Protein backbone atom coordinates (compact mmCIF):
# COMPACT_ATOMS: atom_id res chain seq x y z
CA UNK A 1 0.00 0.00 0.00
CA UNK A 2 1.51 3.38 -0.95
CA UNK A 3 2.34 5.73 1.92
CA UNK A 4 -0.20 8.52 2.22
CA UNK A 5 -3.11 6.24 1.27
CA UNK A 6 -5.53 5.14 3.99
CA UNK A 7 -7.24 1.78 3.69
CA UNK A 8 -10.05 -0.36 4.96
CA UNK A 9 -9.20 -4.04 4.52
CA UNK A 10 -11.88 -6.69 5.05
CA UNK A 11 -10.85 -10.35 5.01
CA UNK A 12 -13.06 -13.38 4.82
CA UNK A 13 -11.50 -16.73 4.11
CA UNK A 14 -11.01 -20.36 4.87
CA UNK A 15 -7.52 -21.80 5.17
CA UNK A 16 -5.71 -18.56 4.49
CA UNK A 17 -3.07 -16.46 6.18
CA UNK A 18 -3.37 -12.69 6.18
CA UNK A 19 -0.40 -10.71 7.46
CA UNK A 20 -1.28 -7.04 7.92
CA UNK A 21 1.01 -4.27 9.15
CA UNK A 22 -1.09 -3.44 12.21
CA UNK A 23 0.94 -0.30 12.89
CA UNK A 24 -0.60 1.14 9.71
CA UNK A 25 -3.85 -0.85 9.63
CA UNK A 26 -5.00 -1.84 13.14
CA UNK A 27 -7.62 -4.56 13.61
CA UNK A 28 -10.93 -2.84 14.44
CA UNK A 29 -13.21 -5.88 14.42
CA UNK A 30 -13.16 -9.51 13.31
CA UNK A 31 -11.60 -9.54 9.84
CA UNK A 32 -11.54 -5.74 9.46
CA UNK A 33 -8.36 -3.66 9.47
CA UNK A 34 -8.53 0.10 9.01
CA UNK A 35 -6.11 3.05 8.96
CA UNK A 36 -6.60 5.33 11.94
CA UNK A 37 -7.12 8.29 9.57
CA UNK A 38 -9.45 6.42 7.21
CA UNK A 39 -12.55 8.53 7.93
CA UNK A 40 -10.79 11.84 7.23
CA UNK A 41 -8.28 10.78 4.55
CA UNK A 42 -8.45 12.34 1.09
CA UNK A 43 -6.80 9.33 -0.56
CA UNK A 44 -8.21 5.99 0.55
CA UNK A 45 -9.10 2.56 -0.77
CA UNK A 46 -11.48 -0.19 0.28
CA UNK A 47 -10.16 -3.73 -0.13
CA UNK A 48 -12.32 -6.81 0.28
CA UNK A 49 -10.54 -10.17 0.24
CA UNK A 50 -12.49 -13.41 -0.07
CA UNK A 51 -9.98 -16.23 -0.09
CA UNK A 52 -9.62 -19.96 0.07
CA UNK A 53 -6.20 -21.50 0.57
CA UNK A 54 -3.74 -18.63 0.22
CA UNK A 55 -1.27 -16.34 1.92
CA UNK A 56 -1.52 -12.53 1.60
CA UNK A 57 0.67 -9.78 3.02
CA UNK A 58 -0.43 -6.14 3.27
CA UNK A 59 2.13 -3.56 4.35
The DSSP symbol for 1 reads: -
Mean pLDDT of 26-40: 97
What pLDDT sits at residue 14?
A: 79
pTM of the complete model: 0.85
* pLDDT of 17 above 90: no
- Environment class of 9 (CB within 10 Å of its CB; exposed 0-12, middle 13-18, buried 19+): buried
What pLDDT sits at residue 1?
A: 87
What pLDDT sits at residue 52?
A: 85
Annotated domain spans of the chain: 6-48
Read off the pLDDT band of 4 (50, 70, 90). very high
Amino acid sequence: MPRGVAASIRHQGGLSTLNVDQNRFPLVSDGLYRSTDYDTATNKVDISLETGVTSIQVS
